[in-house]
Amino acid sequence: MSLTAMFSSSAILSVAFELFMLANARPFATGDLNGETVEVSSLGAMAKSSIAVHPGAKISTLEEVLDLIDCYGDKKVQINLETKLDPENPNQTLSVDTYIDNLVPILQRRGYADRTYIQSFDWRTLIGIKKKFPKTRTVALLDDTTVVPSGNLGFTWLGGIDLQKDFAGDWVKAAHSINATALSPVHGVPSSVNTPGYKPFTTAAIVSQAHELGMIVVPWTVDDEVTIDKMFRRVIHTSQGIE
């Protein structure tokens, strides 16, 4: 089960929502939402016109999703929980410390800490959570845009790592340095191997290097048969399903 975690302004943790456009095309940041807004907001009202609308569908809190899993009764369900932060637009969400301090305790209290992976493009979350909760399984997300400098800001997504200075551009070693359980790079660009100009990002050499360092590899998002076949041919450990 793959979920997206986002704290509202009242520190209620909801899942599977990020920066949305309202029906009138006015954007809002999830950090502006309070608990009451999260409870009453309709997903249909926030959906873009190109997305199927399901009137009355509500944003679920993480606690509600865990309740659903408990009701189902399957103790083998694994959770892949992504924290959504943008280090280049910090005002869109609550602080990274909010995620570091509050996410894992919820999972621990509910008995899900040992079967949850926490993933993020913003490695500040992963570094902070691993430091405070060392047993947490973390997944280092990245793509071709997060392993290059953002102008004069440097490598904003890598939690203080200077990729060139510290690792000579080797992002596999960088992920290993933050004790990531898994490396999760984009499989390639554009999204399908059948797209003209496709270039693989997750190569067999990358997979081998990550495995040698003790990390599993979870390329994203592999959601067509041809691309899946190519991934398996690169000896991928596992593939993340459709988002």
Q: List all residues 6 or more positions away from 215 whose beta carbon is below 8 Å from its beta carbon.
A: 172, 175, 176, 180, 181, 182, 183
Low-confidence ranges of the chain (pLDDT < 70): 1-3, 5-51, 53, 234-243
Give the pLDDT confidence score for residue 131 in this predicted structure.
98
pLDDT, tens digit, for every residue of 98-123? 999 999 999 999 999 999 999 999 99
- Torsion, Cα 133 139 141 146, to 10 degrees, reads 40
Domain ranges in the chain are 2-141
In angstroms, rounded to a whole number, what is the distance separating the alpha carbons of residues 191 and 142?
A: 14
Whole-model pTM above 0.85? no
Give the pLDDT confidence score for residue 19 in this predicted structure.
36
Residue type, position 74, single letter: D
- How would you classify the pairing of strands 79-83 and 2-7? parallel
CA atoms within 13 A on the CB side of 216: 11
Domain 2-141, architecture per CATH: Alpha-Beta Barrel (3.20)
Give the pLDDT confidence score for residue 3 in this predicted structure.
65
64: three-class secondary structure by DSSP: helix
Q: Which position has the token pair 């606690």?
A: 63
